[in-house]
Structure 1
Amino acid sequence: MSTTVVRIADLLEDAPTASGTPPPLPSPASDAAPPADRPALTVTVVWGGLADVPADLHVTGHYQAVAPSAAELALDRAISGGQRRLITEHTRLGWIDGQLGEVTYFPCKGGTVRSAAVVGMGPMGTLTERRAVQMYTSLLGEVIGLGHVQTFATVLIGSGTGNLPITQAARALVHGFGSALRSPGPSAAASRLTEVLVVEVDRLRAEQLVRALNEVAGKQTSLRIGPQLREESSGGLSPQSAGVYALTALTELAGRSRTAAEGAGPPEGPAPQAAGGLLREVLSGLEPAVRSLVLEQLTRFADVDRTDLSLRVRRTMDSLDAAVPVRVSVLSGVGGLRWAALTERATVPERLVPVDVDLLRQLVDRLTEPNAEDARDLPDLLSRFVVPPDFQRLLTDEVTVLMELDQETALVPWEFLADVKQRSGEESAPLAVRTPLSRQLRTPYSRVITEEAAVGPLKALVIGDPGDPEKGFQLPGARSEALAVATRLSSLGVDVTLFVGAANSTRQPGVAPATRLDVLRVLLAGGHHIVHYCGHSSLDASDSGVRSGWVFADGLLTAQELVQLERPPRIVVANACYTSRLGGGGPQAALVPSLADEFLRVGVAHYVGAGWRIPDGQGTSFSETFYTHLLGTGPGEPEHTVGAAVHKARRALYGGLEGESTESVPDQRKSTWAAYQHYGDPTDPFTRPGGD
Structure 2
Amino acid sequence: MSTPVTIADLLEDAPTDHAWSPLPSAPTSGTARPAGRPPLTVTVVWGDLPEVPADLHVAGHYQAVLPAAAELALDIAISGGPRRLITEHTKLGWIDAQLGEVTYFPCRAGRVRSAAIVGMGPMGTLTERRAVQLHRSLLGEVMGLGHVQTLATVLIGSGTGNLTVAQAARALVHGFGGALRSQAPSAVASRLTEVLVVEIDRLRAEQLVRALTEAAAEQTSVRIAPRLREERSGSLSPQSAAVYALTALTGLTGRTGTTPGEPGRPGGGGPPATGDLLGEVLAGLDPTIRDRVREQLGRLADVDRTDLTLRVRRTVDATEGAVPVRVSALSGVGGLRWAALTERATVPERLVPVDRDLLRQLVDRLTEPSAEDARDLPDLLSRFVVPPDFQQLLTDEAAVLMELDQETALVPWEFLADVKQHSGERDDPLAVRTPLSRQLRTPYSRVITEEVDAGPLKALVIGDPGDPEKGFQLPGARNEALAVSTQLSRLGVEVTLFVGAADSSRVAGILPATRLDVLRVLLAGGQHIVHYCGHSSFDASASGVRSGWVFADGLLTAQELVQLEHPPRIVVANACSTSRLAGAGRAAPSTEPLPGTPWGSPQALLVPSLAGEFLRVGVAHYLGAGWRVPDDQATSFATTFYTHLLETGPGEPEHTIGSAVHAARRALYRGHDGSSYAPASARHEPPDAAPDRQRNSTWAAYQHYGDPTDPFVSARGD
Alpha carbons 2:254, 2:267 under 8 Å: kept:
no
Q: CA RMSD in A?
A: 2.6
Alpha carbons 1:571, 1:604 under 8 Å: kept:
yes
Matched, 1:592 2:607: yes
Q: Cα distance, 1:201 vs. partner?
A: 0.7
**What is the CA–CA distance in structure 2 between the aligned matches of 1:635 and 1:383, rounded to whole Å?**
41
Aligned to 1:66: 65
Structure 1 pair 218–525 and aligned structure 2 pair: CA distance change class (3 A):
same
Structure 1 pair 430–662 and aligned structure 2 pair: CA distance change class (3 A):
farther
Q: Cα distance, 1:54 vs. partner?
A: 2.1
For residues 603-634 of structure 1, the C-alpha deviation after alignment (integer angstroms, 9 at most, x for no partner) is 11111110011111111111111111111111
Structure 1 pair 162–569 and aligned structure 2 pair: CA distance change class (3 A):
farther
Larger mean CA deviation between 214-223 and 127-136 belongs to 214-223
Report the residue type matching 1:620 in the other structure: T
Q: Cα distance, 1:483 vs. partner?
A: 1.1
**What is the CA–CA distance in structure 1 between the aligned matches of 2:476 and 2:42, rounded to whole Å?**
65
Aligned residue runs from structure 1 range 45-64, under 5 A = 45-64=44-63
**What is the CA–CA distance in structure 2 between the aligned matches of 1:537 and 1:483, rounded to whole Å?**
19
Aligned to 1:337: 336
Q: Cα distance, 1:304 vs. partner?
A: 5.1
Matched, 1:273 2:274: yes
Aligned residue runs from structure 1 range 254-653, under 5 A = 254-255=253-254, 268-273=269-274, 276-277=276-277, 279=278, 282=281, 286=284, 292=290, 296-297=294-295, 299-303=297-301, 305-306=303-304, 309-453=308-452, 455-582=454-581, 583-584=594-595, 585-653=600-668
Aligned to 2:10: none
**What is the CA–CA distance in structure 1 between the aligned matches of 2:268 and 2:150, rounded to whole Å?**
43
Structure 2, unaligned stretches of length 5 or more?
A: 1-15, 258-265, 582-593, 680-690
Structure 1 pair 657–464 and aligned structure 2 pair: CA distance change class (3 A):
farther
Q: Secondary structure at the match of 2:192?
A: coil
Alpha carbons 2:657, 2:712 under 8 Å: kept:
yes
Report the residue type matching 1:273 in the other structure: T
Larger mean CA deviation between 173-182 and 664-673 belongs to 664-673
Aligned to 1:262: none
Equivalent position to 2:697, from 671, 674, 690: 671
Structure 1 pair 556–45 and aligned structure 2 pair: CA distance change class (3 A):
same
Q: Cα distance, 1:659 vs. partner?
A: 4.3
**What is the CA–CA distance in structure 1 between the aligned matches of 2:485 and 2:431, rounded to whole Å?**
27
Q: Cα distance, 1:109 vs. partner?
A: 2.5
Report the residue type matching 2:660 in the other structure: A
**What is the CA–CA distance in structure 2 between the aligned matches of 1:299 and 1:229, rounded to whole Å?**
27
Alpha carbons 2:459, 2:496 under 8 Å: kept:
yes
Structure 1 pair 493–283 and aligned structure 2 pair: CA distance change class (3 A):
farther
Structure 1 pair 562–82 and aligned structure 2 pair: CA distance change class (3 A):
farther
**What is the CA–CA distance in structure 2 between the aligned matches of 1:572 and 1:659, rounded to whole Å?**
25
**What is the CA–CA distance in structure 2 between the aligned matches of 1:540 and 1:304, rounded to whole Å?**
68
Report the residue type matching 1:34 in the other structure: P
**What is the CA–CA distance in structure 1 between the aligned matches of 2:418 and 2:161, rounded to whole Å?**
25
Q: Cα distance, 1:356 vs. partner?
A: 1.0
Alpha carbons 1:639, 1:687 under 8 Å: kept:
yes
Report the residue type matching 2:702 in the other structure: Y
Report the residue type matching 2:177 in the other structure: G
For residues 63-99 of structure 1, the C-alpha deviation after alignment (integer angstroms, 9 at most, x for no partner) is 1121111011111112223322222222223222121
Alpha carbons 1:457, 1:495 under 8 Å: kept:
yes
Aligned to 1:686: 712
Aligned to 1:109: 108
**What is the CA–CA distance in structure 1 between the aligned matches of 2:157 and 2:256, rounded to whole Å?**
42
Alpha carbons 2:128, 2:171 under 8 Å: kept:
yes
For residues 308-362 of structure 1, the C-alpha deviation after alignment (integer angstroms, 9 at most, x for no partner) is 6431111112210122211111111111111111122222211111111111111
Larger mean CA deviation between 595-604 and 222-231 belongs to 222-231
**What is the CA–CA distance in structure 1 between the aligned matches of 2:357 and 2:243, rounded to whole Å?**
50
Alpha carbons 1:252, 1:302 under 8 Å: kept:
no
Q: Secondary structure at the match of 1:581?
A: strand
Alpha carbons 1:161, 1:343 under 8 Å: kept:
no
Alpha carbons 1:401, 1:438 under 8 Å: kept:
yes
Aligned to 1:34: 34
Aligned to 1:22: none
Q: Cα distance, 1:510 vs. partner?
A: 2.1
**What is the CA–CA distance in structure 1 between the aligned matches of 2:676 and 2:233, rounded to whole Å?**
49
Alpha carbons 1:538, 1:548 under 8 Å: kept:
yes
Larger mean CA deviation between 212-221 and 42-51 belongs to 212-221
After TM superposition, the score normalised by the length of structure 2 is: 0.87
Q: Cα distance, 1:110 vs. partner?
A: 2.8
Aligned residue runs from structure 1 range 79-228, under 5 A = 79-160=78-159, 163-228=162-227
Report the residue type matching 1:689 in the other structure: A
Q: Secondary structure at the match of 1:271?
A: coil
**What is the CA–CA distance in structure 2 between the aligned matches of 1:2 and 1:655, rounded to whole Å?**
48
Report the residue type matching 1:113 in the other structure: V
Matched, 1:656 2:654: no
Q: Cα distance, 1:294 vs. partner?
A: 7.3
Report the residue type matching 1:603 in the other structure: G
After TM superposition, the score normalised by the length of structure 1 is: 0.91
**What is the CA–CA distance in structure 2 between the aligned matches of 1:255 and 1:497, rounded to whole Å?**
75
Alpha carbons 1:384, 1:420 under 8 Å: kept:
yes
Q: Secondary structure at the match of 1:613?
A: coil
Structure 1 pair 490–223 and aligned structure 2 pair: CA distance change class (3 A):
same
Larger mean CA deviation between 332-341 and 560-569 belongs to 560-569
For residues 372-414 of structure 1, the C-alpha deviation after alignment (integer angstroms, 9 at most, x for no partner) is 1111111122112111122221122222111111111111111
**What is the CA–CA distance in structure 2 between the aligned matches of 1:7 and 1:521, rounded to whole Å?**
70
**What is the CA–CA distance in structure 1 between the aligned matches of 2:213 and 2:632, rounded to whole Å?**
64
Q: Cα distance, 1:663 vs. partner?
A: 12
Q: Cα distance, 1:298 vs. partner?
A: 5.9
Larger mean CA deviation between 431-440 and 79-88 belongs to 79-88
Larger mean CA deviation between 593-602 and 143-152 belongs to 143-152
**What is the CA–CA distance in structure 2 between the aligned matches of 1:125 and 1:589, rounded to whole Å?**
28
Structure 1 pair 657–465 and aligned structure 2 pair: CA distance change class (3 A):
farther
Report the residue type matching 2:30 in the other structure: S
Structure 1, unaligned stretches of length 5 or more?
A: 9-26, 259-264
Alpha carbons 1:31, 1:221 under 8 Å: kept:
yes
Alpha carbons 1:655, 1:662 under 8 Å: kept:
no
Alpha carbons 2:319, 2:396 under 8 Å: kept:
no
Q: Secondary structure at the match of 2:392?
A: helix
**What is the CA–CA distance in structure 2 between the aligned matches of 1:80 and 1:267, rounded to whole Å?**
47
Aligned length: 664
Report the residue type matching 1:557 in the other structure: L
Alpha carbons 2:447, 2:616 under 8 Å: kept:
no
Q: Cα distance, 1:224 vs. partner?
A: 2.2
Q: Secondary structure at the match of 1:432?
A: helix
**What is the CA–CA distance in structure 2 between the aligned matches of 1:96 and 1:273, rounded to whole Å?**
62
**What is the CA–CA distance in structure 1 between the aligned matches of 2:523 and 2:625, rounded to whole Å?**
25
Identity of aligned residues (%): 76
